[in-house]
Every structure is written in C-alpha cells, then in structure tokens.
C-alpha cells in the first residue's frame, strides 16, 4: 500500500533525484476548502509559494491545469496530514484521493510527504513577514501556498541528508 512506498521513499539514503536535473516539482498542501501550491527545483533544492486555489466540491482544476502547463513538473508532491503518531486520518485519505486524481489527470508521478508540522511553521513564517511589514492580514490566503512551500522544501532537503 501507499504507507510502504511512502516510508521507503523517506528512509532511503542514497536515493537519486526523482526528477531529472533541472526538473520542477509542484507541491500541494491539500485542504477541504483551499489547496496551497508551490514550485520547487531539484537542482537548487529550493521552493517558492505560487498560489492558493479554491477547493469546494472539486479542486479548481482550471487553475491547477494552468500551473501544470506553465511549470511542466517532472513530479507532483502532496502533503499527507497524518495523525500525531503517523496514523492515517480522514484528511490523509482525502489527500491520497487528490493525489490519485492528479496522477490520473496529468500522467505525472505523485509522491507523498509527511506534513504534520508544516501548518505551524507556515503560521510562524507568516507572522514574521507581518511583523516585518511585508505581509498583511489580507494575504493570509497565501498561508496554504506557504505551507506547500515548506512541505516541498522539507522533502527536497530530505533527499540530500
């Protein structure tokens, strides 16, 4: 099942880049109301938040289609909101269904990454930006994109530890 693939992916030390040299990865912070999206690069191991798209009954596929066309990612990374002890939750199952939809829609490989600590990290990063005057309360919608950025950064760094 997915848990074995996911665990093996995280633990393997000498794993080569999943994406070709210079390849882009789109990272997703899946939520029931919003989906944060970020782009990362395998060569620089950096990521940038892109945007937050709406998710009511269905994800905003038009926006996701546009980003996939624009960035031509070699890989899609979906954050898995696991429980405190790493157990599956209703949200992690929904995130996996979203990942399966991405893979089917774009024929691009999908990986999953543990995202248990990213929301708090994104909130503190956003608070720092607000304190510095470079973000406002109305920019809070970018919080989900920032979470996607952190998920992607952590995943890129874990490949090279």
Q: What is the pLDDT of residue 1?
A: 37
C-alpha span between 144 and 37 (Å, rounded): 7
CB-based contact 111:75 (threshold 8 Å): yes
- What pLDDT shows up at residue 9? 40
Give the SS3 label for residue 72: coil
pLDDT of 99: 97
Please name every residue paired with 34 in a beta bridge, in sequence order, or none if there are none: 54
Provide the pLDDT for residue 143: 73
Compute the radius of gyration of the chain from its Cα atoms.
15
What pLDDT does residue 141 have? 65
Which value, to the nearest 10 degrees, does the dihedral of the CA atoms of residues 120, 2, 90, 10 take?
A: -10
> How far is residue 62's CA from residue 94's CA, in Å, rounded to a whole number?
20
Residue 119's closest CA among 29, 45, 50, 49? Answer: 29
Per-residue pLDDT of the chain (161 residues; tens, 9 = 90+): 343 333 334 333 333 344 444 589 999 999 889 999 999 998 888 999 999 999 988 999 999 999 999 999 999 999 998 888 888 999 999 999 999 999 999 999 999 998 876 655 556 665 666 566 655 555 556 778 888 998 999 899 887 76
- Return the structure tokens found at 152: 């992607």
Among the listed residues 31, 116, 19, the one whose alpha carbon sits nearest the alpha carbon of residue 71: 19
Q: Can you give the pLDDT at residue 118?
A: 60
């Amino acid at each position: 099942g997915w848990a074995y693939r996911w665990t093996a992916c995280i633990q393997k030390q000498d794993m080569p880049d999943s994406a070709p040299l210079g390849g882009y990865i789109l990272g997703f912070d899946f939520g029931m109301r919003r989906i944060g999206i970020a782009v990362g690069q395998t060569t620089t191991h950096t990521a940038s938040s892109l945007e937050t798209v709406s998710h009511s009954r269905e994800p905003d596929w038009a926006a996701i289609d546009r980003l996939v066309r624009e960035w031509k990612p070699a890989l899609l990374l979906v954050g898995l909101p696991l429980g405190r002890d790493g157990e599956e939750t209703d949200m992690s199952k929904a995130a996996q269904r979203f990942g399966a939809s991405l893979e089917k829609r774009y024929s691009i490989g999908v990986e999953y990454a543990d995202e248990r600590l990213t929301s708090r990290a994104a909130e503190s990063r956003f608070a720092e930006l607000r304190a510095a005057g470079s973000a406002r309360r109305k920019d809070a919608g970018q919080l989900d994109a920032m979470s996607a950025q952190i998920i992607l950064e952590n995943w890129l760094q874990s490949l090279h530890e």
